[in-house]
Structures are given as structure tokens and as C-alpha cells.
Structure 1
Amino acid sequence: MKFSYSLSKRFVFPNLAIQFLIIHSVSSLNITNEYLNHKCFLNQGIYNSGSEYEDSLNILFRKVRTDDYARTGFMHLTKGPASDSVTVMFQCRGDSYGSKCRTCADTAVAGFRKRCPRNKGGIIWYDQCFLWVSEIGESMSIKTNYKNIFSMYNPNNVRWGAKLFAKRAMDFFSELTLKVKKNTEAGSIIILYAAGEKKLGKNTLYAMVQCVSLTIDCKSCLAWSITKLFKNGDIREGGRVLGMNCDVRYEIYPFLRS
């Protein structure tokens, strides 16, 4: 059985064609690493070939692809002079670690180079990770960025008590949000991730919540995203909201590694 996912038109970025993500319902749990979305930060300009900015970016990209961050799946680095520095942030989904995380890092770096060539800044999302690049050495922990957020939904509507389904799903998300801060600290990086499953009648709901490790308002970001999932009257069998600070997802089939 296959599900076709589409981007919510309310969050389509300029020059971005609507993408479709094919997800396999998984008796075999065939986890994908599909491209989901990207945005090039045009206001940050472009860098010249052979420039110091390009050298710094190449060094950081090599670190993203080679450094050992298997325990946390997270990296945040800045390089270059204050007047022309580049900052790179990379994070894997909470269930993708070790070699799975590194594979997504390779894919994300290659995808960013292809879709935002010579752009000083941009962001690209894949099913199991995302990569953020900026010329601004800004702290990602100041506040949640609600501009670079998009949503994706299963095309199938819930046909069996949609309102009750939405209420119980939101209650379950609230439970997961409370568990996020209970996760253990790995080194100096706090892993802000929680996932689980809950029986809803004849179906099982699978869900996850995750924040970027530097986010100080994780709870607010998750609450906003969860509300966004169920804001419309047509409640779907699955959906997700992704951004720069947090993401949430639910399905009625398993989509995470145990």
C-alpha cells in the first residue's frame, strides 16, 4: 500500500514546485530518505568561486560528512572571520543515528550544493535529516523561526470519528512533548526527541516530536506545529510539520525505527 504526500500550499516557498513523497506502508518498515523541501536564502547573496567563504563552507561540509556525532545526530559549527563567517547546522531525525545519520548527511550536503549553488545561505529537508547554512553567525536558540516552516499531509481523510481522532492525537502529542525534556544528555548536547504509539480503536497511532538541540522554546514550537496539523476540518490519516527549530509527525502505520 502506498501513500502520496503533498506539500501544504500555504507553506510553499517561492520557485518551489509541489513535491510528492511516496511513503511505503511498512510491514517491512521500508524507511525512506526522500527529499522533502528546500529554500535558498536569496537575501544573503552568493559567494565567489575561490573565496574565503567558499573555503570555510567546504571545510564545514567535510566535517558534517565525516565527524563522529552518532550519539546526538547534531552539529552546529561556525567558521571564518566575523565579517564573513559561515554557520552550518545539521540534525538527524531521532531514530536515525550512526551510519544512517551519516548517509543522510552525505545526501543533504550534495542536495544543498545542487539546489542552492553558491548561495551563502539556505535550508534543505530530507525524511531523516535537515541541513541549514547561513552567512549570519546567529544563535538558533534565541527564538523559533516561524517563517521557514511547511507541512505535508496524507491525502486520505479520517472517516471514522475524525473529531475524536484529532482530539486523541493531540492529547498523545501532548504526552510526547512532556517526555522530550526527560531524554538523557549526551555530552553537552541535549537530545530533544520523543516518539511512541497509542491504540485508537482498531487502529494504532504512531507519532514523534523533535526540536533542534539549541532551541530554548521547544515546547512552544511543538505546540504551534501540533495545532497546525489539525487546524483544518479535514483530518488526515497522517501529516507532518517541519521547520528550522522543530518538527512533528503522525501516521496510522509505523514509520520509525524502534
Structure 2
Amino acid sequence: MSSSSVSKRFVLVLNLAMVAIQILLIRSVSSMNRTNAYLYHKCSEIEGKYKQKSPYGENLNFLISDMYKDTFVRGFVYAYHGDDPNTVYILLQCRGDSYGSKCGTCLTTAISELRKRCPMNKAAIVWFDKCLLKISPTTFFEKIDDKNKFYMYSTKKVSDPESFNAKTKVLLTELTAKATRRSDKLLLYETGEVKLGKMNLYGMVQCTRDLWFTVCKTCLDKIIGELPKCCDGKEGGRVVSGSCNFRYEIYPFLDTVR
């Protein structure tokens, strides 16, 4: 056998191996898009820490135990327990496609991560793809929390950023209008998609359901206004705060069945 034949076979095998690896990577990324990935957390040091068997710790444990009695059909629980200075406020908001058992599972994960990442902090927040969990010794209900905020975005850029940015803003603004209209079943959540040439653009907006619909709109309008700062020309991006968030991608990222 000639050296050239061996060389060609080696190149062929190498190319096939690279194709196999790429397929595995694509499948992995696709599956990750539907998982409940950890996103971010913030531990506040201003409010201080508590001891496990202190009144604050006992009130927090009471609230957590009480939350597990919920069926999570609304995908949202908020409550408070105890007297000052040991009152605990807690809020769980699950993504609009992740109610019921998915929401309960996300709560379990969020509690575990919050205790691990912010041990004994009186005030903390943790975000996952499918839920956020927040605790505090002071009330934050019905107020916009934009102090706890972060950006996420794709490293890939689109070919026509100006047009893409404009259409992304239009989609998210339209979804905000739908999510915050008056209705008997106000979810403060909306999803949608638009055709952009040969590809689709998928979007989602959501607020925590302690907010009034007008306050939710204010929250979403504000973070949508941060699109240029966050995600200029990126194929996907998010602005996530403690009260509202949006996400857009050029691939489906939501569960179709609750």
C-alpha cells in the first residue's frame, strides 16, 4: 500500500471522527437548552446572617416547609412569616412553561443551591432556567427589583445587526403588551416567534406575579431598553432581574407542554 493511500484513509477517518464529535456537541447543546440550568445568584451582606436555630432560621424553615404543600399549578408562591426583626419574606417564580411538578422540582434545586452558595445569608436570590427563588428580611413584594440583575448573551453575531436588533425589540415589545393586558387570568408571561428570512426568532417575557400589570410593563420596558447594552447583534440574549426578564434566541428554548 502506498503512503498516499494511507494518508488519504487517515484523513478520511479523522474527518469522520470530527463529524461525530460535532454531532455529539450539537445534541448536547440542544439538550442543554431544555434543562434547568443554574444561571446566577447574589448573596446580600447588608442584611447580615442568621443562625440555623435562631428565630429567623426557624421562620425560613417554616416557610420552605409550607411552600412544599403547594401544588404549584400557578407556578408562583410568595409569603412571609414571623415578627420583626425576624420576619422572612420569600418568593418563588417558575417560568411560564414549568408549572406543577416541574416547578416543585425547581424549588428543591433552588433551595439547595441557595443554602450552598449563600449559607445563612438573610437576603439572597438564585436564578435557574425554570425558576427564581428570593428571600429577604424586608418586604420586596409588588416592587421592581432592578438591583439584582445580570445579562446573558450568545457569542455569535448575526450578519445584519441593525435589522435584527430592531425586529428583536419589536417582538419583545409586542410580547410585553400581551403579557400585561388586563385579564382574569393574568400570568405576566408571554412567548412568541417571528420569521426572519430563513430562520425564526423566538422570544419570551415574564414578570414575578406579585407585580401589578402596569408595574410589570414598566419593568419589562426598562430591561428591553437595555438591549443595545446587553445583546447588540447577538444571536441570543437575556436581561434577567429580580422582578422581570426577557429572552430571545434563534432556536426554540421552551418546553411545549407544561
Question: Matches of 1:231 and 1:253 in 2, distance apart?
Answer: 22
Matched residue SS, 1:84: coil
- Alignment of 1:49 onto 2:46: no
- Greater Rg by CA: 2
- Aligned match of 2:211: 215
User: How many Å apart are 1:98 and its aligned residue?
Assistant: 1.0
Q: Which residue identity lines up with residue 89 of structure 1 in the other structure? A: L
User: How many Å apart are 1:234 and its aligned residue?
Assistant: 4.0
- Aligned match of 1:40: 43
- When normalised by structure 2's length, the TM-score is 0.83
- CA 124–233 in structure 1, closer or farther in 2 if over 3 Å, else same: closer
1:43-122 equivalent positions in 2, closer than 5 A:
43-70=46-73, 72-122=74-124
Q: Which residue identity lines up with residue 76 of structure 1 in the other structure? A: Y
- CA 254–25 in structure 1, closer or farther in 2 if over 3 Å, else same: farther
User: How many Å apart are 1:214 and its aligned residue?
Assistant: 1.5
Higher helix share: 2
1:145-164 equivalent positions in 2, closer than 5 A:
145-159=145-159, 161-164=160-163
Contact 1:183 1:191 in 2 (8 A): no
Matched residue SS, 2:255: coil
User: How many Å apart are 1:152 and its aligned residue?
Assistant: 0.3
CA deviations on 1:88-127 (whole Å, 9 max, x unpaired) are 0010011111111111011001111111111111000011
1:26-37 equivalent positions in 2, closer than 5 A:
26=30, 31-37=34-40
Matched residue SS, 2:163: helix
- When normalised by structure 1's length, the TM-score is 0.83
User: How many Å apart are 1:64 and its aligned residue?
Assistant: 2.8
Q: Which residue identity lines up with residue 163 of structure 1 in the other structure? A: E
- CA 24–209 in structure 1, closer or farther in 2 if over 3 Å, else same: farther
Structure 1 runs (4+) greater than 2 angstroms displaced: 22-26, 63-66, 181-186, 229-234
User: How many Å apart are 1:183 and its aligned residue?
Assistant: 7.5
- CA 233–123 in structure 1, closer or farther in 2 if over 3 Å, else same: closer
- CA 23–84 in structure 1, closer or farther in 2 if over 3 Å, else same: farther
- Aligned match of 1:9: none
- Aligned match of 2:176: 177
- CA 234–24 in structure 1, closer or farther in 2 if over 3 Å, else same: farther
User: How many Å apart are 1:52 and its aligned residue?
Assistant: 1.3
Question: Matches of 1:206 and 1:233 in 2, distance apart?
Answer: 15
- Aligned match of 1:8: none
Contact 2:203 2:247 in 1 (8 A): yes
- CA 176–82 in structure 1, closer or farther in 2 if over 3 Å, else same: same
- Aligned match of 1:141: 142
Question: Matches of 2:137 and 2:169 in 1, distance apart?
Answer: 37
Question: Matches of 1:34 and 1:165 in 2, distance apart?
Answer: 27
Contact 1:93 1:128 in 2 (8 A): yes
CA deviations on 1:211-232 (whole Å, 9 max, x unpaired) are 1112231112111211212336
1:240-255 equivalent positions in 2, closer than 5 A:
240-255=238-253
Q: Which residue identity lines up with residue 56 of structure 1 in the other structure? A: N
Identity %: 42
**Structure 1 unpaired stretches of 5+:** 5-21
Contact 1:23 1:32 in 2 (8 A): no
- Aligned match of 1:16: none
